[in-house]
Amino acid sequence: MPAGTLTVMESEWITDGQTTGLVAERPLAENSTDQQEPPVADAIEPSASELTVDAIEQVLGQVEQALVRLDEGTYGRCATCGVSIDDARMAEEPTTQACTGCAAAPVA
């Protein structure tokens, strides 16, 4: 490196609960984004992993509700009209709570 050149270093530290020590230092790449703020859009919009976690949590909630209905003896029955939900519909969408007629009905 030429004299007078400023180099930004990235440091890795390790802590074992009692002591802290430097593990490694290396120069950051010139185009590194490690020290830059994320663009505003990234700070506002959820990441793909956040969306995936939200989707998984939603499905998990639906499965938990279906298990409760199974324990209560109401699994496979429409929560709106009480009619038995078609086996093909239950096989396609096991967490459904509505028969085909109630699912197609407009929400008032």
| Local confidence band at 1 (pLDDT 50, 70, 90 cut-offs) | very low
pLDDT per position as a tens digit, 51-101: 788 899 999 999 999 999 999 999 999 999 999 999 999 999 999 999 999
At 36, the amino acid letter reads Q
Token pair listed for 30: 């010139």
Neighbours of 85 (CB within 10 A): 20
pLDDT for 102 beyond 70 = yes
Predicted model pTM: 0.51
Element (H, E) at 72: helix 48-72
At 18, the amino acid letter reads Q
Q: How far apart are CA 89 and CA 94, in angstroms?
A: 8
Q: Where are the domains of the chain?
A: 48-108
CATH number of 48-108: 1.20.120.910
Query: Which residues are CB-neighbours of 14 under 8 A, at least 6 positions away?
Result: 20, 21, 23
